[in-house]
Structure 1
Amino acid sequence: MSLLPLNTLRDGVVGLAILAGIPIVRLLLSLVVLRLQPQYAYQPPHHILPQYDFVVVGGGSAGGVVAARLSEVPEWKVLVLEAGPAPPPETYVPALAFMSLLPQYPGVWHFKTVPQKHALKNFAGQKANIAQGRALGGGSTVNGMFYSRGNKRDFDRWASLGNPGWDYNSVLPYFVKAEDFRGPLPPEYEKFHGRGGPLTVTPQPPTTLARQFLKAGAQLGFPIVDFRGPIQAGFPENASFTIRDGVRCSTAECYLRPASSRPNLHILHSATVLKVLFRGKRVSGVTFEHNGKVMNVGARREVIVSAGALRSPQLLMVSGLGPSEHLRRHNVDVVLDLPGVGQNLHDHIIVNGLSWTHPRNSAFSSPTELFTPSSVHQYIRERQGPLAEVPVNLHNAFMRVGNRGDPSWPNLQILFLSSIFGDDFGTVNAASFNFDARRFKRYFGDIYGQSGFSMRPILVDPKSRGSLTLRSSDPRDDPYIDPNYLSHPDDVATLVEGIKLVLALGHTPPLKDEVKAKFFDKPLPECVGEGPGSDKYWACYVRHMANTYFHFAGTCKMAPSSDPYGVVDHRLRVRGVGGLRVADASVMPTVTAGNTNIPSIMIGERAADFIKQEWHKLTTFPVHHSQQRYKHYDGNTRPKSSSAVPFTIVPAISRRYKQT
């Protein structure tokens, strides 16, 4: 039996020590975070009012934005109810983003899909583990912080499906409004970005290893693009992340915390909404549970449901909005038959396991080297260094594979990172992603503890559609989640083309010769009979090794009245009832070609302006970026009387965010 190299054993021991020491790490981080980010902002209100103007269900990527923006109107009383806790201490540290994938991590919902007929064949029970944000800030508190808006054509498609005002030129001002871009920009790109908005976006230059990935793309003829401009397809020169001065910039920290000093905004975390209440066909409030007590609170104007693409449709259904036969089967009193609630579920799906090993080199550092005494000391003192950045040499590229479609509209994303599934000796990755433990070890055991990188193709324009249905009428019971992965043959074909592309990238001189990367070419045992290297083999590989990328969308679809499966209209109002909107990724008719956090924030910004306009508190909408001016209430200023309401433009508001 061969002995493992000393440095391999060292990293394995370090990795296990990190896992064993998580409680200690959290305790130390609590002291650091409390010093940097005082927790008073998230203390519950002294008392809950019997009625608010607006109740926002969910304080996540979209809900945190909606609540903060509505509280800019001083005379409106706003309550945001979040099922999860305040952001856990480690979520502030960018390099610790991986912790949200750990089993039983407290800041996320831990769901599982139902067994998948066409996919997940190497996963326990053919089910996917689903981690969704369950804390103030939602997904923006636990995600990888990658800044991606999607593609221009994503939004033009939304408009073409009968949703006026959602084309790219209409939504761009809201991306700009939200953003505080920190870094230089070519003059011609300034119009695509915001300076001084609530959400800080910081460019992070590629690491030495990531630069080899960019060189590999250039070798195959792909353009090196600047995501900061209008072009998405290609290999980005720089990646950008939602990080401010070495700390994660979630919607909790960058929207809710600055707004929390306004007396008209109440933030209540660890409060689970159980039901939306109706008086006839109009919303009257919600029922929620907090500290073991069940309470009702009224909504004078509206309830905005922003619980995410999995919880929002569940809440609508247990409240009586959904497919009537399904609701009656679970003894739910039907308020309105809405057959589209829970339908149109789809997600990005990622192919795992494609790995390259390389000799150890200080230029291609191991993730465990983040946790040296010097890096910890540097972060505590200066909020700089490895812990202040996204780890594992993360980089992304977008392109269209196959022979059909617009080449500037990607159907594939490649995730590049200096991590392979065997590098932790099977201690975390298998359990985190619900791999079948026996099959995981049989396949990856040969590269346990080795240094390397992976390139993972991601399907960003899936055609497969699934559904979410109730397990029971109790909202505390997890719903049945069936994404119906890979049920459409085009999805498999696109991922096979993606695999062939990353294999070609791995064979280019920048990776093969300069990095000395070697592809882990062990055939997947379950697919050997298909002839390793053939399209049939790779199709089999996809069905066994692809899994969720956690970007669920579409379950409360925005659509015109002619679409029987539409749930909300183009102003996000729920069909057939009054005083109820949905604002989160569930309203997307089709998921965006890229991570969904930033589009969800944009949806929150739009929802707040829709509400302000309809209640006559918004004098102007954002217009085209070339004429961009916004007028809003500044939550710092109080009018002398209800008729003397001060207005200010966005830069004044954003200065307040930066000073807080």
Structure 2
Amino acid sequence: MTILGLQRGVSWLVLKIASIAILAKLTKDQFLSVNTNIDAEYDFIVVGGGSAGSVVASRLSEVAEWRVLLLEAGGEPPLQTYVPGFAPLLIGTQVDWAYRIEPQTYCHRGYEGDSFFLPSGRVLGGGSSINWMLYVRGNRRDFNNWEAMGNPTWGYRHVLPFFKKSENYSGHGRANYRGRGGPVKVERQPWMLPIARGILKAAKLLGYSHIDYNGPEQIGFSVPDLSTSNGRRSSTAHSYLSPASTRPNLHILTNAFVTQIMFNNDKKAVGVRFIHDGQEKSVGAVKEVVLSTGAIRSPQLLMVSGVGPAWHLKQHKIPVLHDLEGVGENFQDHIMTMGLTWSIDRGAVSFASYFWPSAISKYTSQGTGPWTMPAGISVLGWTKAENGDDPLWPDVQYIASSLTLVTEYGTTLGSSLGFKKNVFRNYFYSVMGRIGFTILPSLTRPKSRGTIRLRSSLPQDPPVVDPNYFSHNDDVTTMVRGIRFALKLGNSSILKKKYGAKLLKKPLPGCEKIVYNSDAYWACFARSYASTNYHPVGTCKMGPSTDPKAVVDHTLRVYGVSGLRVVDASIMPLVTTGNTNAPTIMIGEKAAHMIKRAWSRKVTSRKRSSAQERRESGL
């Protein structure tokens, strides 16, 4: 075994020991009541207990006379999901669907098979139970643009109340923007390293202030807001489902894999089929089925149920219930460039310091310390857009981490992300195990579009996921601009003088024949080391009936059928300018509100009709 291999082995063993030590001192925040026996019929069936589905199920069950069933393919969140520092370790585990994208034509050249894992939560809470907990609402222009695209009531003034309703913010912020007392606990990153302060000062020297990016404007840099409380994850499973799970009208069935949406002869959704305990079962829905299984699974379930592009369904011999062209189209994802690495002499923590008894004790007893940082993320920022009509609608986000891909000798981040091992080791060897930081530029408004297609007619087969990253050349141009700003930030005089910051300048294998630091070199670097930012959206696009790619209307009802809505990130017509979990929760809140209003009007209408009939009959 090589010295590097020995270091990796020892690091992994120490990590496992620390995990055991931390988990031994944790207990679940709340008891989550799940069901083993369910009824034959409910008013509403919510398929998928993720970031949006948990919200919808909880809110609909607030109406005592409505019977609500939540079906989740995964189980309850295990204890390790509570700890932000464990987030990278959840990729590819039993709580992750572990989708793998198709080999990419225009990027991912530094990854095995030119491909990449695309995590998606298979657990109550969905993505909110396995993500990196960055609470980012997006830019107000995102939602105003949604409305301008033909989606009334989705402008910023309409969605802001639902952001506030969902949030319980413990920091300082303007009351007309931040929520207090909502289910999801949000706090400013509870532990701050000196290097994070240095990066914020460097950003200020470049003209960017320290801001509340969840306030009225987004341009600037900040310590992250996290969906945590005292350093522990606040998923929608904990914040919405746990309090609601004891209601007698809400049933939650875990490990229930939904295989099909059932329709009657009038094309109304009347229930679902699913597999539980190895048996095929079905359950009926009187009012509606709500599909909340995410941007990958929701279009797949629609298509295997006969709703989607007719040409594609016929390829797999699926009877066409309704020809809906847009299902599986419009795939969007934020893509970020990995690998921009600086070593430093001071200001960050070493990998070994994570496992000192004081660090473990600090986390388990005080909710602070390095374990509160998901992947070491310390600073978020957005710079002004240089192309387009509005410079305050940024096209690049910056994520600064006080770890590098090899601070921990590549035992977690490096190994879980699927880099080509020879390229990875060759490039990072000189900084292996050293303290440092990395800055990841991420495209916030990419122009590339991908697709979700069926692999077969079997719902158990994972779909064909092709993000088509960097297929639009403007995305590469914008990424190179983002890389150049990241270099300015990391190479700033304050970081060099105070922390000894030194950029890893070794040419990346595969790009070494291109002039270093040229635009062409950084384009090659991005095409090699760009990766998903885990934000797939758009595959069941919300839009007016005149939009041929629209799948749902502005009330999230699926076109061409009745009794069926899609409520998750797949309905976003365009991805938001930042991490997508907070807007997905907002979508759940707004959808629940719309469903309640729709059915309340129907009840009122029926009551009025009955009263009118009685008057007309002389009763």
* Superposition TM-score tier, normalisation by shorter sequence: over 0.9
CA distance in 1, matches of 2:6, 2:394: 41
Percent identity between matched residues is 45
One-letter amino acid matched to 1:220 = L
Alignment pair present for 1:69 and 2:62 = no
CA distance in 2, matches of 1:381, 1:450: 28
Alignment pair present for 1:242 and 2:230 = no
Indicate the residue corresponding to 2:186 in structure 1: 201
Indicate the residue corresponding to 1:486 in structure 2: 470
- Residue 613 of structure 1: SS of its match in structure 2? helix
Shift of 1:387: 3.3
Matches within 5 A, 1:139-150: 139-150=127-138
Shift of 1:95: 2.4
CA distance in 1, matches of 2:601, 2:89: 41
Gaps of 5+ in 2: 605-619
One-letter amino acid matched to 1:16 = W
Indicate the residue corresponding to 1:90 in structure 2: 80
Q: For the structure 1 residues 3 and 98, does the alpha-carbon distance in structure 2 shift closer, same or farther, using more than 3 Å as the test?
A: closer
One-letter amino acid matched to 1:95 = G
Alignment pair present for 1:43 and 2:29 = no
Shift of 1:19: 4.7
- Tell me the TM-score normalized by structure 1: 0.87
Contact map agreement 1:29 1:89 (CA 8 A) in 2: no
Gaps of 5+ in 1: 621-660
Indicate the residue corresponding to 1:273 in structure 2: 258
* Selected match of 2:121 from 126, 130, 133: 133
* Selected match of 2:211 from 212, 222, 225: 225
Contact map agreement 1:179 1:199 (CA 8 A) in 2: yes
* Selected match of 2:393 from 409, 420, 438: 409
- Residue 225 of structure 1: SS of its match in structure 2? coil
Q: For the structure 1 residues 352 and 388, does the alpha-carbon distance in structure 2 shift closer, same or farther, using more than 3 Å as the test?
A: closer
CA distance in 2, matches of 1:145, 1:225: 19
Shift of 1:51: 0.3
Matches within 5 A, 1:491-502: 491-502=475-486
Q: For the structure 1 residues 568 and 3, does the alpha-carbon distance in structure 2 shift closer, same or farther, using more than 3 Å as the test?
A: closer
Matches within 5 A, 1:68-467: 68-101=58-91, 104-185=92-173, 189-204=174-189, 206-236=192-222, 238-280=223-265, 281-359=267-345, 361=346, 363-388=347-372, 390=374, 392-467=376-451
Alignment pair present for 1:575 and 2:571 = no
Alignment pair present for 1:505 and 2:505 = no
CA distance in 2, matches of 1:284, 1:490: 45
Q: Deviations over 1:82-132 (max 9, x none)?
A: 11110011111222222223xx31111111111111111111111111111
Q: For the structure 1 residues 42 and 383, does the alpha-carbon distance in structure 2 shift closer, same or farther, using more than 3 Å as the test?
A: farther
- Residue 181 of structure 2: SS of its match in structure 1? coil
Alignment pair present for 1:542 and 2:536 = no
Indicate the residue corresponding to 1:647 in structure 2: none
**441-450 or 593-602: bigger deviation:** 441-450
Q: For the structure 1 residues 475 and 29, does the alpha-carbon distance in structure 2 shift closer, same or farther, using more than 3 Å as the test?
A: farther
Contact map agreement 1:402 1:494 (CA 8 A) in 2: no
One-letter amino acid matched to 2:156 = Y
Shift of 1:530: 2.1
- Tell me the TM-score normalized by structure 2: 0.93
CA distance in 1, matches of 2:599, 2:313: 33
Indicate the residue corresponding to 1:648 in structure 2: none
Indicate the residue corresponding to 1:641 in structure 2: none
Aligned length, in residue pairs: 601
Q: For the structure 1 residues 178 and 425, does the alpha-carbon distance in structure 2 shift closer, same or farther, using more than 3 Å as the test?
A: same
One-letter amino acid matched to 1:153 = R
CA distance in 2, matches of 1:481, 1:462: 17
CA distance in 2, matches of 1:346, 1:564: 17
Q: For the structure 1 residues 367 and 19, does the alpha-carbon distance in structure 2 shift closer, same or farther, using more than 3 Å as the test?
A: closer
CA distance in 1, matches of 2:3, 2:552: 61
CA distance in 1, matches of 2:412, 2:601: 50
Contact map agreement 2:74 2:255 (CA 8 A) in 1: yes
Q: Deviations over 1:128-158 (max 9, x none)?
A: 1111111100010111111100000000110
- Residue 376 of structure 2: SS of its match in structure 1? coil
CA distance in 1, matches of 2:385, 2:598: 43
CA distance in 2, matches of 1:159, 1:275: 32
**366-375 or 338-347: bigger deviation:** 366-375
CA distance in 2, matches of 1:30, 1:351: 33
Q: Deviations over 1:409-458 (max 9, x none)?
A: 11001110012123333333343112111221222222222221100110
CA distance in 1, matches of 2:247, 2:388: 52
Contact map agreement 2:60 2:592 (CA 8 A) in 1: yes
CA distance in 2, matches of 1:348, 1:322: 25
- Residue 529 of structure 1: SS of its match in structure 2? coil
